[in-house]
Structure 1
Amino acid sequence: MSQNITDKERVEVAQKEYEDLKLREKVKVIKSDEKEKTIGIVSKINNKSTGEQSYIITDKYTPPTASISARNQVKELTILYKGSTAPSKANIMDTKHPEFKDVRNDWLDNDIPTAIQITNGGGPTVTFQLKSSAETLKQAMRLYPNAQVYVYGHSLGSMNAQYAIADLDKKDINRISGGFFYQGPNIYSNLTPKQQDTIKAINALDRLFNFVDRKDYVPIGYGIGDPTIGHLIEIESTKAQLLNNLHNTSLLNSKKIFILELKYRKSTV
């Protein structure tokens, strides 16, 4: 992997999916020495009718409209898939609320149908948001053909990221330098046999990492011995937390994630 940042800093990158980033904005993390490191620059923002919201970040500002020559020079590509908009009485009931459409797209059209599917044994029929997320990744890889790719997602964004990688042609998986999924359901059972075969191949490369805290209500489908998209790394919240806060605080528990992934990697060397 050429994206030379720590596991703790990767959590900071994933958190950026919830920020209101702008085109041409530098995406930065704070390193252990308190200095800033630039991950890349926002080159495209997706806000699709399917509810998918994602950022395309390149090592230098290179929008999809740039010349082929310029796009060929991009060496590193990062995709952030945003998680679900948190539901509230206001944004569910008020049709004029700015988050009304987002909440319905995320929960009614994606989260709930996928959860029902997973708890009933899965199946290869998936939501339009998962499909559009897969197209986002494939299109970005076509636009920047020489770039190594990093994919991040939390919650619904984790599902989008998992599915996007699974839907790649097997010939393209070597371009995936890292996939980092936080607190999302296990959608392996929702994949086709071809997609599952792709995941088996990329899992063997040790480039995908799937972090879950079982105290959270969102990461479902992780039964003992069940196959997963990426290496499953379990974290535990360090103190009693209210159920409605755990889903977000687990992502923020970056120190615990860093320690556990480090232990995992040492055990596999």
Structure 2
Amino acid sequence: MTHLVSRKQSLTDWQRVQLAQLEYHDWHLGEDILLPDGQLIGEVIKVIWMADGFRATVIRSAAYPQIIVLFRGSSGVRKGDPTTWTNEWLRVNLPIGNAIINQVPDVPQELWTASKEFNHLLASYPQMTFFLYGHSLGSINAQFALANCHYPERISAAYLYEGPNLYWLLDAKQRQTTTLLRCQIFNYIDPLDVVALGYIDMEHTIGLLRVIDSMMTSPINQHMWGGYQFDKQQNLLLENDFWQNRRAQIDQRLITAVQKLNQNNDEWER
């Protein structure tokens, strides 16, 4: 049998990105999950699709006592349906962006659903360790689910891509949980992707921040891993001087400017 995902994470960076991209596929129970290079990941054992828009695919490894959860991201303008705008943008993405900029704990219902469903999975498979993957909205839901995780000792690793920094929305208890999981969470962002906002330093983040040494492409393609670059060993190319990058400075100035504007509005209302 083809070697599957192990606790030592046998997948390369490129393979993990390919696996995360499969979160956008409409999977069915019993289907095998295969990477483009033919590597078998496992079998779909549950497909979650909730009324508030939360979606995830649950995979069981055939060779190891492990569960892989693919948190689905936003369908977007290319593959969206009539619920995309209401469920994903108006109810979640736009409020999250506003909450991060204003640094107020305004959490949409879908994130609480993600936490509840993830903890239910953990309780349903007590002998299993878990791997999480999420992109964009999938990263948002995965970050919040990890912050509310009831069994942090059973998280092997989480690979998150192009999500905004949810740290600013967490309370003290949730931040404590993400601190416990810090070395299990790998949070990848492309500094040219406008969706991945709110990262202003290395400390106020969920997990270990990994900044991509990206190439510029079109805005939608940039968000969909289009700027990612790999070496011959399929390792992601990372940027070492992100905090000198103008994007980090722009995020800080944006947050500061909006907070000042809101403060001035409050003073006028008085």
Does the pair score TM above 0.5? yes
Are 1:140 and 2:121 an aligned pair?
yes
Which of residues 143, 162, 165 is equivalent to 1:183? Answer: 162
Q: Where does 1:8-47 land on structure 2 (aligned, <5 Å)?
A: 8-30=14-36, 34=37, 36-47=38-49
Match of 1:94 in 2: none
Q: Deviations over 1:207-234 (max 9, x none)?
A: 1100001111100100134511110000
Matched, 1:84 2:74: yes
CA distance in 1 between partners of 2:235 and 2:91 (Å): 33
Distance 2:237 2:155 in 1: 22
Code of the aligned partner of 2:93: D
- 1:137-167 residue CA offsets vs partner (Å, 9 max, x unmatched): 1111111101010000000100001110110
Tell me, in whole angstroms, the C-alpha distance in 2 between the residues paired with 1:25 and 1:3.
22
Give yes or no for contact 2:66–2:129 (8 Å, CA) kept in 1: yes
Q: For 1:146-192, what per-residue CA distance to the aligned partner results, in whole angstroms no more than 9, with x for missing partners?
A: 101000000010000111011013xx211100101000000001111
Task: Map 1:1-269; keep pairs closer than 5 Å.
Answer: 1-30=7-36, 34=37, 36-60=38-62, 75-87=65-77, 99-123=81-105, 125-169=106-150, 172-203=151-182, 206-238=183-215, 240-250=216-226, 253=228, 255=230, 258-260=235-237
Equivalent AA in structure 1 for residue 46 of structure 2? K
Segments of 5+ residues of structure 2 without an aligned counterpart are 1-6, 241-270
Distance verdict in 2 for CA 1:234–1:47, change over 3 Å: same
Alpha-carbon distance in structure 2 between the residues aligned to 1:140 and 1:228: 25
Inter-partner Cα distance in structure 1 for 2:45 and 2:94: 31
Of the structure 1 ranges 241-250 and 158-167, higher mean CA displacement relative to structure 2 is found in 241-250
Question: What's the TM-score, normalizing by structure 1?
Answer: 0.80
Alignment CA distance shift 1:37-1:184 (3 Å)? same
The CA distance in 1 between the partners of 2:214 and 2:137, in whole Å, is: 20
Q: Partner letter of residue 224 of structure 2?
A: N
Report the counterpart of residue 65 of structure 1 in structure 2.
Answer: none
What letter matches 2:149 in structure 1? Answer: L
In structure 1, distance between residues paired with 2:129 and 2:229: 24
Contact 2:30 2:45 in 1 (8 A): yes
Q: What is the rounded CA distance, in whole Å, between the counterparts of 2:55 and 2:180 in structure 1?
A: 28
Instruction: State the structure with bigger RCO (CA 8 A, min sep 6), 1 or 2.
Output: 1
Q: Aligned in 2, Cα 1:174/1:260: closer, same or farther, shift over 3 Å?
A: farther
Identity %: 31
Instruction: Give the Å deviation of 1:260.
Output: 3.8
Supply the distance in 1 between the matched residues of 2:77 and 2:111 (Cα, whole angstroms).
Answer: 20
In 1, distance between residues paired with 2:172 and 2:9? 31
| Alignment TM-score, normalising by the size of structure 2 | 0.79
RMSD: 2.3
